[in-house]
Every structure is written in C-alpha cells, then in structure tokens.
Structure 1
C-alpha cells in the first residue's frame, strides 16, 4: 500500500498555536537563591555560563544544572534557582523588577548567567501534548543528542548580548527550535500519549498515515498493512502507546481539525465535514457533540460570544 506520511508532532504543535518569547536574563554570583512563582505558561531556562541548582515543587531532589543545561517546566509549579543547597531564597519579583537592559542581577559578581523564556500553547495543547510529559524536563548539555539545543542556546545568548536588527524575532525562532529538539529527545520516554506513540516502531507509521490522510475511511486492517503487522498487533500496540484504539484516535484528531477550522472561521460546517472525512454535516455534528459536548454550530457561537465580550469581562 502506498501511503503519504504526515508529521504528527508538527501537526499538533501547529494546531496548539505555540508561540515563544524570551524573558529577562539573570546574572548571579556568590551565595544566592531565588524563589519563582508558578509560571502561567511553559517555562524554559538555560544556563549560559556557570552552574546552579534547580528545585521544583513536588519533584524529588534538586536538579544540578551545569553550563549548557536547560530545562522545561511543563506544569505551573513554583521553583527555585540557587547557587547551592541551604541558601535562604528571596522572591524573584523585586529582583526582576529592578532589571536593567534586560538583565536582572543578584550578588555582586556574575559567575552565573541564565537565560529564559516561555512557550504559550493554545487551549487544547495540554490534553494533546503536555499532559503526557513530566512536570519538568532536564536536558543535560553533555548528552550527544543535545548538540542542536546547545547551538541554539549559544545563538540566543549572542542575539541577546548584541541586540542586532530583528534579534527578538530570531531569538523566538531559536527558542522554538530548542522546544522541538527537547520534545524529540523526550520521544523515547513518558506514558501514554503522542510522544509514546511516535517512539513505537509499530504505532508511528500508523500515526503518520492517519495524520497525512485524516479524511480517508481508514480501517484497522489498512493501518496494520501500513505498519506491516497483524490487525491484532497494531490494535494492541496502538492502545498501549496512545491510551485508545486507532479509530478512536482518528475520530479525536478529526474533531481537533474541525474545531481548529471553526475557530478560524474556515468554511461552513458542511464543507468542514467533507474536508475531514465525514459524509455529511449531521455525521460530523454527531461525532463533534459526542467528543466535545456541543454541536459545531454551538461551538462556533460560543467562540463568537467570547470574542465580542467586553474587555473587562473575566467570566
């Protein structure tokens, strides 16, 4: 069977609407420790110079960070960066409020330099991708796989230091490169979810086929042929890796695609239905309501209400 191959991770990142931004850098020296409030977005920090210690609420033991190391804080948890154990921490707020020229400083020397930023994801990202990840991902600089991350980190530091033309745009794109490579490194681990599926040599070809042609009337037999295994093997491995069967996954992904098009105002409900593999508007409406709890038309009306609500309305 000749099958086109899509890129599920690329699809999910695009659908999740990921954006990145760099935050104020930190330089520190001597004995120091800083407490950070739980971030509202996915936080990343990288040690451009020196070393420090990371402690995250609910994660056992401190994590030593060497020069070139970086970490992603996936869940909104308080964390501490410190020169070492036993140093009483101070709140991050006043230190970063007093930052000058994009750099916050603690201590009178500058033996440690930490750069950081955030990744903002759309509404659906947590269920599609983030829930399958651990609360914090540490990427040591010494690993061979981290070469591109180290390269991106060095270029970000250069851009932040020199501030050439369009440096903000360049650093945001470099941060996205870091995110993708960190997720690639994590593909081999984790519990049920997209990353686990991409790490499985039986499941991954089926996933790529589903993402390349979501509108096709796939059967388990078709997908088993793509993965060159029996139907029972494909079904069992898919469920083990993804937490649900291949056709249930296809339904869920079609609904994600439909919801994204509804958010963009991209076509009528009938046109969306045909584009993603449903024979009629009513067939899409039935599946959409079963998955999301509302019909496509109600979903679109709710979006319009949210967009036109007064700015001060926090409901």
Structure 2
C-alpha cells in the first residue's frame, strides 16, 4: 500500500470513531436530541446489527466492491460520557474500506450507500444536503429507532485525478453488556487493561497528549470516569488509548482552541480532516502518516473539549518520528 493510501485509510478510520457520535445513552438524551431508554445488548448483537446495516448499503452496489476490514475494532470503550453513564459501557464500531474498484468510483459508491440507507428509512444526522459537487463527499446517517450511527465517505488518494478510497463505518450506541449494571463492575481484563508505566505505546500516547495540551493552551479538567490510559485488544491487534478533557470553555474559547490545535497538527505533518457534529463546532480528526496514531478532538455538550489518542502497540518506540 502506498503512502497516500495509508494516509487516506488512517483518516477514514479516525472518522468512524469520532467522540461526539456516541449514539443512544443510558438515561437523558441520545445524540439525536431525543429522550432515550437504557440500551442493553451483547457485543455479538451489536456487531450483527452493524454488519446488517453495512450489507444493506453495499449489496446493490455497482461496480461491486470488495470489503476490507479496518481496525483496531470492533469493541471499544464508550468515549463520550456526557450523561455520566456507567463506566462499563462499550461501543461496537465496524468499518470497511471498499476496495477492488477504480478510485474514480469512490464518490459513486458513497452516493449508492446513501440511497440504500434512505430506502431503509434511515435519517441524516447532520443538517443540510450533502455537497456532491466535489470529488470527495461524505455522508453521516443514523438508524431509527435503535440509533446506530453510520457514515460513507472518501479519503483522498490522488486529488489531481479525483481518485479516492471509499469506506463505510457503523457505530453502535453506548451499551451495557448483559451482567454489567453499574460503574463498579470491572471491565473484562482480557479486553481492557491499564498499560505498564514503561510501555512504549503508552509513552507515545502520553507524549502526543502533552503536545496537544500545549497546542490547545487551555486548562485540563480532573480525570473523569472512563478517561485515562487503557489497552484494548481485539482480533485485529492491540492499541493504547489515552482520553482526557479540558475545563469547560465558552463557544469562542472552544473555537480558538480547536483552531490552535489544528494549526499544530498541520505544522507537524499530520493529515487533518473535519467531521460535522451536532454541537456545531466540527471535530478535528488527525492521522499520523508514519505511526498510524489517530487523534480525535471534539467539543462536548458540557463545554469541554475532549481528546482521544489511539496508537498501535507495534508502532515506533518513540513519539519523536
């Protein structure tokens, strides 16, 4: 795989894991702004439903793409915890690259996914019609009533030729697996572990968080439940996650902080993309072209800015690459 395709893949993967699209929550409201009920399912049920939504999009596509799984997935911690739900909640994210078709067909595949989902009665989760005038559109939708969020998008492979790499991703609502009913229930140690202090990936994640903190230039909030360092293992590999939040900010302060951190990423050679959010201020998603580290930064409904750094354990031994 060449470097442009690697960069496009990293950006596509990051976009499927944005922090503000957490789906239905336990109590309070879900991400569509409607009252929600407690969400209980098991991981296999969530994966099966996500796969069903993806198949609904691709089964009628022409030309027919090959689905190539993206990782590290599918089960991970629920990052967005604005409703202060139980710490044991998890989310399932299933994402595929659509390969085996010409790069010029990426836009067409996104449009076909949109049409297929609309036929299923699914809704847009952003206001306004998609701008199809450019070669690299993206759509963001959700299911009703179960509130799975999905996207179909293109990562740029060759801008001059208008060639892209299409992907499809589905994220489940945050849910409590059966048998886990409170914040005091420990997560499965085989899936979520605290990294060792001398773990290279943990040091790399913390180093990136430190640089992001310097770029944001706002104070950090005390560590909230579910934040901090964790190691996540699944069939596709092992990654270290570091999540944290700033103190609550005004809208103007959030916009300025996000602009500063975006400028940092661009100056440091990261590939940066925006993702629309219900909060209005776009999330910043950045991919490191060498490490396969992905950073997601988004405004929270609490007024804070939430940061999530995900880095593979098999990356370079230092963040100074």
Higher relative CO (Cα under 8 Å, sequence separation at least 6) belongs to 2
Bigger radius of gyration among the two:
1
Greater percentage in strand = 2
TM-score range, shorter-chain basis? under 0.3
TM-score, reference length from structure 1 = 0.22
Greater percentage in helix = 1
